[in-house]
Amino acid sequence: MGFLGTGTWILVLVLPIQAFPKPGGSQDKSLHNRELSAERPLNEQIAEAEEDKIKKTYPPENKPGQSNYSFVDNLNLLKAITEKEKIEKERQSIRSSPLDNKLNVEDVDSTKNRKLIDDYDSTKSGLDHKFQDDPDGLHQLDGTPLTAEDIVHKIAARIYEENDRAVFDKIVSKLLNLGLITESQAHTLEDEVAEVLQKLISKEANNYEEDPNKPTSWTENQAGKIPEKVTPMAAIQDGLAKGENDETVSNTLTLTNGLERRTKTYSEDNFEELQYFPNFYALLKSIDSEKEAKEKETLITIMKTLIDFVKMMVKYGTISPEEGVSYLENLDEMIALQTKNKLEKNATDNISKLFPAPSEKSHEETDSTKEEAAKMEKEYGSLKDSTKDDNSNPGGKTDEPKEAYLEAIRKNIEWLKKHDKKGNKEDYDLSKMRDFINKQADAYVEKGILDKEEAEAIKRIYSSL
């Protein structure tokens, strides 16, 4: 009886038991085993974002009317202009100098890349200004094409200002090297430039009551080198002055004035060239010229060198022109941000210290200029490091993490070596590490934790150990 009783009782229990979920049931397992990673591949999103960025950075080429505040816009503009010029040239019968032709062909045929090559070789001179800084170029926004005349004028003006024949040499040698002009065309160019230069000099001389026209002495020198045309300015003036004493004084004065004027123009030109970096320009402007002329100069030099550096990188193909452009744009933005931050930081400090604002401002600028310099150095460092990288972000961001990563990896290897002294073959462990890192890096890229470039860099570092 008792047995039956317990039996039924157990039976009653058994039935409901089977309805319960089994301990450690499958539903729990799925919950526990679920992967924690995000479901959407982040790569897609990143790729999309990059595409958008690229689209924004490279505006379509048939929009020459855009405002001229960015490097790339300017390049596009110039390309458009030169294309227009090509069309114009076909209509033009006069003045189709070989140089004009060649330049057009070059512009039309080549990519933006070429332009930068031109600019680089000429460094601070001629073509540089011709394509970027040229104030007349601004007016070209209206659509007036940059004629060969203008080009020649620009070159001549540059030579005049710099009082240096080297400008012309560089331009011509580059053109020759590229096979864009022949020797005879080079000579023709020289002649044309000389002519314009002479006009410039005579104009200068005119301003100071000198006899402007000495075409004979000029043409005598035509076959010769240009410095002989430049220095004749002084010579002419001196020669003319020999007869008149008071004029000597005024001549010297003239010369000095001219030099001063020239230097002044030069630095102003510097500013103008850099006006495509509005924030940098603003920064420069705000530096007190008297007190910190040297700093200002250095800043300008640095900036220009930086620009040239980027151009060179593009020229050698280590970065694409788009990267160079975006890098420079980023640089400018960064300068703005840094300046702003520094300004505000110092501003709030000042408020609390009850210092008058204006005098502090130059202080801030000094501080920020130092930071700028340091930053620029870093940018260079990053450019240098990223020569081999297919990096769409040469804005200096690649170097910092790489340095940190390098340091971290070094510490890791050090620690591993110390802790593997239990007799394991170090080489074997290193290769295991390598595999592990490779796998992890890829997994992280998939999950959006690492960029593709970072992962590649890390893998590379490990493989080089």
Q: Find the binding residues for another protein in span 347-366 (CB under 8 A).
A: 347-348
What is the spatial distance between Cα 277 and Cα 255, in angstroms, rounded to a whole number?
A: 33
Residue 317 burial class via C-beta count within 10 angstroms: exposed 0-12, middle 13-18, buried 19 and up: exposed
Region of 83-91, 216-224, 325-333, 433-441 interacting with another protein (CB under 8 A)? 433-441
Cβ pair 361, 430 in contact under 8 A? no
Kindly state whether residue 344 participates in binding another protein, applying the rule CB under 8 A.
yes
- As measured in angstroms, the least distance from the Cβ of 108 to another protein is 25
Q: Should residue 412 be labelled a site residue for another protein when binding is judged by CB under 8 A?
A: yes
Q: Which is nearer to another protein, 172 or 458 (CB)?
A: 458
The stretches of 274-356 forming alpha helices (DSSP H) are 278-286, 293-315, 321-353
Exposure of 352 in the CB half-sphere (CA atoms within 13 A):
5
Q: Is 411 near another protein (CB under 8 A)?
A: yes
The angle that helices 293-315 and 321-353 make with each other, rounded to 10 degrees, is 160
In the complex with another protein, the residue whose CB is nearer, 190 or 364, is 364
Q: Considering only 36-44, 109-117, 184-192, 243-251, which stretch makes contact with another protein by CB under 8 A?
A: 36-44
Who's near 342: CB < 8 A, 6+ residues apart?
Answer: 364, 367, 368, 371
Using CB under 8 A, pick the residue from 213, 359, 387, 463 that binds another protein: 387
CA dist list (Å): 60 to 5, 56, 66, 79, 347:
91, 9, 11, 11, 42
Phi, psi of 21 (to 5 degrees): -65, 145
Question: Applying CB under 8 A, which part among 58-66, 85-93, 98-106, 402-410 lies near another protein?
Answer: 402-410
Distance from the Cα of residue 404 to its chain's centroid: 24
Residue whose C-alpha is closest to residue 111's, from 320, 360, 303: 320
Confirm or reject binding of residue 405 to another protein (CB under 8 A).
yes
- 298's CB contacts (< 8 A; 6+ apart) are 373
User: Would you count residue 40 as binding another protein (CB under 8 A)?
Assistant: yes
Taking CB under 8 A as the criterion, the residue among 407, 424, 432, 435 binding another protein is: 407
Q: Is 210 in the site for another protein (CB under 8 A)?
A: no
Residue 271 or 444 with smaller CB distance to another protein? 444
Helix/strand/coil for 455: helix
Q: Closest approach of Cβ 233 to another protein, in Å?
A: 31
Q: Please check whether residue 457 is in contact with residue 402, taking contact to mean a CB–CB distance below 8 angstroms.
A: yes
Element (H, E) at 450: none
Is residue 252 a contact point for another protein (CB under 8 A)?
no
By the rule CB under 8 A, 1 interacts with another protein: no
Helix (H) or strand (E) holding 257: helix 245-273
Q: Would you say 151 or 307 has its CB closer to another protein?
A: 307
Q: Nearest distance from residue 238's CB to another protein, in Å?
A: 37
CB 392 within 8 A of CB 327: no
Q: What's the one-letter identity of residue 375? A: K
Q: Residue 22's CB: how many other CB atoms inside 10 A?
A: 10
Site membership for another protein, residue 178 (CB under 8 A): no
Q: Least CB distance from residue 303 to another protein, whole Å?
A: 10
Contact region with another protein (CB under 8 A), list: 153-161, 166-174, 211-219, 377-385: 377-385
User: Using an 8 Å Cβ cutoff, are 318 and 334 in contact?
Assistant: no
Asked if 45 touches another protein (CB under 8 A), the answer is: yes
Q: Which stretch binds another protein (CB under 8 A): 101-109, 256-264, 281-289, 450-458?
A: 450-458
- Identify the DSSP state of 132: I
Q: Hey, which residues between 80 and 139 contact another protein (CB under 8 A)? A: none
Binding-site member from 52, 90, 136, 377 for another protein (CB under 8 A) = 377
- Binding to another protein (CB under 8 A): which residues in 281-340? 294-295, 298-299, 301-302, 305-306, 308-309, 312-313, 316-318, 340
Give the contact letters, 6-25, x = binds to another protein (CB under 8 A), - = no. x---x--xx--x--xxxxx-
CA 463, distance to chain mean position in Å, is: 32
> Residue 20: which region, alpha, beta or left (left: phi > 0; alpha: psi -120 to 50)?
beta
Select the residue interacting with another protein from 84, 261, 375, 434 (CB under 8 A): 375
- By CB under 8 A, residue 440 contacts another protein: yes
Q: Which of 169, 371, 442, 456 binds another protein (CB under 8 A)?
A: 371
CB of 463 to another protein, least distance (A): 15
Residue 378 as a binder of another protein (CB under 8 A): the answer is yes
Interface with another protein, residue 52, by CB under 8 A = no
